Structure 1
Amino acid sequence: MATQKKTAEVDYSMQEKILALYELQKIDSRIDEINKVKGELPLEVQDLEDELAGLKTRVENINAEVEELNALTKQRKREVDQAKIQIANYKEQQNNVRNNREFDAINKEIEYQELEIELAEKRLKEYAAGVKGKKALLEEADAAMKEREADLVAKRAELEGIEAETQPRVEECTAQAERAKERIDERLLAAYDRIRRNVRNGLAVVTVKRDACGGCFNRIPPQRQAD
């Protein structure tokens, strides 16, 4: 809003706008140089934060799998207990059978329940092995998290120290940049910002030296310079 109001009140000439753009470029370049001191620290901090988030998600998933295995273990144990009760009841019924056919039928039921117990116990062993494996994975993930957290604390402290040292200069340059923007209309500012985002060196406005662009160093024909 401040930029719109200022440019509406004062009709700056194209020369003044271009000079303001060049001044803004020099200020932004100074800010870029100051930020270079940080090096790869911001990216390293972000990478560590992302890795920690991934590890936390992994731990949550493993814990959920352990809970599921524990729930299945309880279910199978209940099934074993119920099967044993059924077997006891069937054996008691065998004492009161009237013929061999009834005895054989009850005996088959007992055999079926014994097979159910055998299958459930097999599953219980599998669940126990699964829980043991998951706990080993949890220990690895927890160790990795502690290591990454220590790295993150160190990197953050280093980055915060640099930011605290450079912040006054960045704020001063930012204030200068805002004053320069007051003499530039929105269309030029938008083009300037777009070019800066699309080039590696951040140079959107440069001088012409020896018939070459001061940013990309490509030769500029005399007619283009005159235009």
Structure 2
Amino acid sequence: MAKKAEATVEDKLRALYDLQLIDSRVDEIRNVRGELPLEVEDLEDDVLGLKTRLDKLKTDVETVNFEIGAKKNLIEEAKTLIKKYAEQQKNVRNSREFNSISKELEFQELEIQLAEKNIKEFKAQIEQKKVVISETKERLSQRDAHLKHKKSELNAILAETEKEEKALLEESEKYQGKIEDRLVKAYARIRTNVKNGLAVVPIERGASGGSFFTIPPQVQVEIASRKKIITDEHSGRILVDPVLAEEEAVKMGKLFAKL
């Protein structure tokens, strides 16, 4: 059985640049989405928080209304007792009984006064809470409308790009499989450490792509020979010659058009 031919340095450079083009396309798609997913998540948290606050405020109002009801019942009970004691006072036999009933009447009058004061305070609390409820409802309505708008925006972008992104990620895995692990790891490390995730760049006007540092002519010749993998001494990026870059860009452009 014939032994499979080992990949040449040029093959590796082409595969690395292809991988870079694929991953850069994924980056572009994600940049279009930008901060939208995080914005949607934050808005969802805001809406949930406002709904929870609204529920608590409504529960607070119900609790205060229950307290008002209890105080009204207490007033009615006190009035009944006052009526009862007033009748008893008419039939007292001595001053001690009269004074005792008078104290009870006084106590019930104070109970009514205190309950009426509590009711007044409770009603003021309800009015305050109603203002907060109204403001919270208005804010919730605004945040909910904003959330729906942002969700619609995100869903439209996802509908346009999700399928392509998934296909690109599959291609990225496929191309990584064509490259030895050592180079894939180096590529991933460089990509993490450099601006715009560009780990493999062509020479442009005698300098590393996206850089102003000129590459010596001798090094440019070595890069064009495609005999070894050369990195930029300033940025650490892997360098490819412009001809190879153009050829692979055309090839990958055709691939992207099919996705």
**Which residue of 2 is the match for residue 48 of structure 1?**
43
Task: Output aligned runs, 1:97-112, within 5 Å.
Answer: 97-112=92-107
SS at match of 1:150: helix
1:213 to 2:208 alignment: no
Which of residues 114, 132, 157 in structure 1 aligns to 2:152?
157
1:120 to 2:115 alignment: yes
Distance 2:43 2:68 in 1: 37
Residues 183 and 141 of structure 1, relative CA distance in 2, 3 Å threshold? same
Q: CA offsets per residue over residues 124-164 of structure 1, 9 Å max, x none?
A: 01111111111111111111111111111111111211221
Structure 2 letter corresponding to 1:125: K
Distance 1:99 1:149 in 2: 73
Larger Rg: 2
**Which residue of 2 is the match for residue 203 of structure 1?**
197
Distance 1:193 1:163 in 2: 26
Distance 2:183 2:80 in 1: 86
Distance 1:118 1:44 in 2: 54
**Which residue of 1 is the match for residue 71 of structure 2?**
76
Counting matched residue pairs gives: 204
Q: CA offsets per residue over residues 186-213 of structure 1, 9 Å max, x none?
A: 89878876886x6584638446944222
Task: Output aligned runs, 1:184-199, within 5 Å.
Answer: none
Deviation at 1:112, TM superposition (A): 0.5
Distance 2:182 2:66 in 1: 64
Q: Percent identity?
A: 43
Residues 96 and 166 of structure 1, relative CA distance in 2, 3 Å threshold? same
Ranges in structure 1 where 5+ consecutive residues have no aligned partner: 1-9, 216-227
**Which deviates more from structure 2 when the two are superposed, residues 16-25 or residues 61-70?**
16-25
**Which residue of 2 is the match for residue 29 of structure 1?**
24
Per the normalisation by structure 1, the TM-score is 0.75
Q: CA offsets per residue over residues 45-80 of structure 1, 9 Å max, x none?
A: 222212111111110111111111011111111111
Residues 212 and 103 of structure 1, relative CA distance in 2, 3 Å threshold? same
**Which residue of 1 is the match for residue 57 of structure 2?**
62
Distance 2:58 2:51 in 1: 11
Residues 176 and 152 of structure 1, relative CA distance in 2, 3 Å threshold? same
Distance 1:145 1:34 in 2: 32
Structure 2 letter corresponding to 1:212: H
Structure with the larger RCO, 1 or 2 (CA within 8 Å, 6+ apart): 1
**Which residue of 2 is the match for residue 176 of structure 1?**
171
Contact 1:21–1:205 (CA<8 Å) still a contact in 2? no
Which of residues 28, 33, 41 in structure 2 aligns to 1:38?
33
Q: CA offsets per residue over residues 77-110 of structure 1, 9 Å max, x none?
A: 1111111111111111111211011101110110
Structure 2 letter corresponding to 1:213: S
Contact 2:22–2:168 (CA<8 Å) still a contact in 1? yes
**Which deviates more from structure 2 when the two are superposed, residues 203-212 or residues 106-115?**
203-212
Per the normalisation by structure 2, the TM-score is 0.67
Contact 1:80–1:120 (CA<8 Å) still a contact in 2? yes
Residues 146 and 37 of structure 1, relative CA distance in 2, 3 Å threshold? same
1:140 to 2:162 alignment: no
Aligned-pair Cα RMSD in Å: 3.2
